[in-house]
Structure 1
């Protein structure tokens, strides 16, 4: 079913990982999608080719989400390309692990400029173009509610996202726009593979990181990126018209 037929969606950080699968899923649902990338035009083009092979429509626009001016240019260029904007999915983010005494002001700026400021200003830039029925989905994380060694800076940035959607909901609700966040748990992406070892307790360094993560979920496995994308597709559809201000856990029953 083409539930998003006639809609235009921007997905930040969508040349790889979860963002890529979100873009593909929304295109399959009928939306015209804007693939945002920071560095790799080649990977963005691969996503476009995949979407086009399935009969969808997409374009790629470069923008560094840590730079407010580039966020504004991304939104403006998207509207110029397609004449409208209906959906913003703010997926771009950066990871960080570090002991308290090792965190620097530069670390704070790098993480919060993308994970918090980038999502806030993407929302700000997109909102003037959204009509009643517009949808915004930001990206929080299971890390906002569980403790992981040396993950303080990242977790704090993701907790801020959940607070953001909760407080923006009544403001945007006056215009008929919903805003929610997803909070994924462990997901089988290249970024997760790079960082999985950091999620284990220091005393469990000889145990597979994948095994530890799987042992913490009711479904006893990592999520597939397509499963996260399916949740986003629901939140941006008419089926989720009465959901706003919420952070939806997509974590396999993590405990």
Structure 2
């Protein structure tokens, strides 16, 4: 891919690991210049940038706390100054804390909601102000919102807020030619998902989808790629449950 072909610009939060990292690679392969937002793992973020560059693309890593409006404004300003604007925003940064409601640590709840809810609003606000016509904002929820697994109350509540925000914003941007959608993965083999789970639990969750396996970051990045592309531009105001057929 030549530099000239990178005509669209994507901002990806949570771009140093997991689904975010795979999304960086996929959007770069699709022809986007990519701003890789990360919370502080500079080494992994720079590795993502180097991978894009090695394939002939353009990328830059920027540290940003997604719940801090100044950090997020600087993230978008980098996209403007380095690449000329913003066409796609993928808000993949997130935090997961699992606990029965009766045993909930409210400090953990506050920290998770700061990232998942406030962070989503801060990024969505900047995206709404910045995205060019033909653009797309893609947020992340979870299929657990509909499945109601025990232990996921706090996490599901935070992601339910993201779904509500996304649906409202899609309507608020009427006339802008900008789409707003949420991707809600099922069990996906990322460090965030696998952390703290034994093999039996992972095997049980992998057996739930009709396709009888865990999702991969590449599976989810492919959905993001479609929603970010002109081919996916007629999809708007939707929650896409990318979960292999969990019912």
Deviation at 1:195, TM superposition (A): 4.1
Q: Please give the alpha-carbon distance, in whole angstroms, between the structure 2 residues aligned to 1:168 and 1:253.
A: 27
**Post-superposition shift, 1:149?**
1.6
Distance in 2 separating the partners of 1:241 and 1:173: 14
Paired with 1:241 and 1:78, the residues of 2 have a C-alpha distance of 22
> In the aligned structure 2, how far is the partner of 1:178 from the partner of 1:192?
28
Give the Cα separation in 2 of the matches to 1:225 and 1:98: 25
Q: How does 1:98-177 map to 2 (within 5 A)?
A: 98-177=99-178
Task: Provide the residue aligned with 2:188 in structure 1.
Answer: 187
Cross-structure match for 1:235? 227
Tell me, in whole angstroms, the C-alpha distance in 2 between the residues paired with 1:47 and 1:131.
Answer: 25
Is the 2:170–2:179 contact (alpha carbons within 8 Å) kept by the matching residues of 1?
yes
Alpha-carbon deviations, 1:25-79, whole Å to 9, x = none? 0000000001111111111111111111111110000011122221122112221
Q: CA deviation at 1:108?
A: 2.5
Instruction: Using structure 2 for the length normalisation, give the TM-score.
Output: 0.94
| Residue 220 of structure 1, aligned match among 199, 212, 219 | 212
Query: Which structure 1 segments of 5+ residues have no match?
Result: 198-206
In 2: Cα distance, 1:45 partner to 1:68 partner:
23
Q: Deviation per CA, 1:3-39, whole angstroms, max 9, x where unpaired?
A: x840000000010110000000000000000111111
Does the Cα contact within 8 Å between 2:99 and 2:151 map onto a contact in 1?
yes
Number of aligned pairs? 245
- 1:55 matched to which residue of 2? 56
Measure how far apart 1:147 and its partner are: 1.6
Q: Distance in 1 between matches of 2:94 and 2:242?
A: 17
1:97 and 2:119 correspond: no
Which residue is 1:68 aligned to? 69
Q: Residue 200 of structure 2 aligns with which residue?
A: 208
Question: Aligned partners of 2:196 and 2:35: how far apart in 1?
Answer: 28
Quote the RMSD (CA, aligned, Å): 1.7
Kept in 1, the 8 Å contact 2:6–2:58? The answer is no
* Range 130-139 or range 72-81, more displaced: 72-81
TM-score by length of 1: 0.91
Structure 2 CA distance, aligned partners of 1:36 and 1:114? 14
